[in-house]
Amino acid sequence: MLTNYHTHCEFCDGKATAAAMADAARRAGFSILGFSSHAPLPFRTRWNMRMSRLGEYVDSIRGLGRAHGQDMRVLVGLEVDYIEGLCGPADGRFDGAGLDYRIGSVHFVLPDGAPAPSPTALDDDGEPTFGFTVDESEDKLDAHLERFYDGDADAMADDYYAAMAACARSGGFDIVGHFDLVRKNNAGQRLFSEAGRRYRDAAMAAVEAVAASGAIVEINTGGMARGKTDSPYPAAWILKEFRARGVGVCLNADAHEPRHLSAHREDGLRAAAAAGYDRLTVIGPDGRFECELG
C-alpha cells in the first residue's frame, strides 16, 4: 500500500502545485496522499505558509480529495514547527482548521545566550536572532555554529535533541518529522561523530520521549532525494531503538516536487525491515491501522 504524508506544494516551499503533486501520486499508484505544508510561524520565513493562506490551503486540498475520490484518498495536514517558548503543534493555533493529522518537527535550535524567542527578534534580513535552522545551507550553518556555539557542533546537537524531546512531551501531533535532521549537513561526520557517546546520549533522550508520546515516527527519504544523506532519517541504529520500544513507523518522501514522491522508497523499506519492522502504520480518513511492509 503506497502512502505518503509528508508532501509540500506551492503553499509553502514546494516546487509544484498541489494538483500536480496529487496527479503524480495517483499515476504512481498511491492509495493515500497527505499534504503537509510548513505551518505558519509567528514570524515570516521564505519556506512557511502565510497564516492568511491557511483557509485557501485547506479548501484546495479538500477539493483535490473530492476530485480523486476513492481512487486515492487525499488528506490535509500541516508540518508544525516546535520552537520552545514560542510555538508548537500543541499550542492550538490550527485547531479550527479541520486537519486530518499533524507532523511535529524541529528545525530551529535555540543556543544559550541568544535572545529569547520572539516574533520580533529578527535581523534586517528578517532572519531570527534567537537561533537558526539545522537544515540550512552548509555555509550558513557553519557561520551560525561559529557565532552561537564557538564551533561546537556537539552542543548544537544537544540543543536539537533537547528540542525534539520537548516537542514530543508537549504533544499535539501524530507523526514525528525527520527525527535526526541535525545530521543533514554532517556528511563524512564533518561536524560531529554520530557514533560518539555525547551524540548518542542526546538522541536517546529524545527517543525515550517520542516513545512515551504515542506518535508515529516517519522514515523520511527526503535527505537522500536531495543528495544530502546516504540513508533515510532516522539513522539505522535509532530506528532499531524505536522498534525495540514498539514505536510505529510510516514511510514518507518529504516531497517538494513530483519526482520526490517515490524517490528512494525501496531504501526506506529496507531500512524498516533491517530495524525489525514488518508493518507500517497508516493514517486513513477513519483513523490508524497497519499494513504489511511493502
The pLDDT of residue 85 is above 90: yes
Q: What is the pLDDT of residues 35-54, one digit of tens each?
A: 999 999 999 899 999 999 99
Supply 103's cell numbers. Answer: 507532523
- Reference 207, options 86, 103, 34, 215; nearest CA is 215
With contact defined as beta carbons under 8 Å apart, do 144 and 132 qualify? yes
What pLDDT, on a 0 to 100 scale, did the predictor assign at position 126?
Answer: 86
Domain spans, the chain: 3-292
Q: What is the pLDDT of residues 67-76, one digit of tens each?
A: 999 999 999 9
What pLDDT, on a 0 to 100 scale, did the predictor assign at position 274?
Answer: 98
Per-residue pLDDT averaged across 263-290, rounded? 97
Taking the model in full, what pTM does it have?
Answer: 0.97
Residue 246 neighbours by CB under 8 Å, 6+ apart: 211
With contact defined as beta carbons under 8 Å apart, do 275 and 246 qualify? no
Per-residue pLDDT averaged across 207-225, rounded? 98
With contact defined as beta carbons under 8 Å apart, do 177 and 6 qualify? yes
Q: Amino acid identity of 201?
A: D
Q: 107: pLDDT confidence band, cut at 50, 70 and 90?
A: very high
What pLDDT, on a 0 to 100 scale, did the predictor assign at position 15?
Answer: 98
Q: What is the pLDDT of residues 183-193, one digit of tens each?
A: 999 999 999 99
What pLDDT, on a 0 to 100 scale, did the predictor assign at position 125?
Answer: 84
pLDDT cut 70: percent of the chain above it: 100
Per-residue pLDDT averaged across 20-35, rounded? 98
Distance CA 257, CA 267 (A): 19
Per-residue pLDDT averaged across 153-182, rounded? 98
The pLDDT of residue 63 is above 80: yes
The pLDDT of residue 156 is above 80: yes
What pLDDT, on a 0 to 100 scale, did the predictor assign at position 294?
Answer: 75
Q: 231: pLDDT confidence band, cut at 50, 70 and 90?
A: very high
Distance CA 121, CA 130 (A): 7
Q: What is the pLDDT of residues 238-261, one digit of tens each?
A: 999 999 999 999 999 999 999 999
What pLDDT, on a 0 to 100 scale, did the predictor assign at position 67?
Answer: 98
- Reference 87, options 98, 79, 76; nearest CA is 79
CATH-assigned architecture of domain 3-292? Alpha-Beta Barrel (3.20)
DSSP string, 162-230: HHHHHHHHH---SEE--TTGGGTT-GGGSSS-TTSHHHHHHHHHHHHHHHHHTPEEEEE-HHHHTTS-S
- Reference 264, options 253, 279, 280, 256; nearest CA is 253
What pLDDT, on a 0 to 100 scale, did the predictor assign at position 178?
Answer: 98
Distance CA 150, CA 3 (A): 42
The chain-wide mean pLDDT, for the chain, equals 97
What pLDDT, on a 0 to 100 scale, did the predictor assign at position 247?
Answer: 98
Per-residue pLDDT averaged across 24-33, rounded? 98
Distance CA 268, CA 249 (A): 11
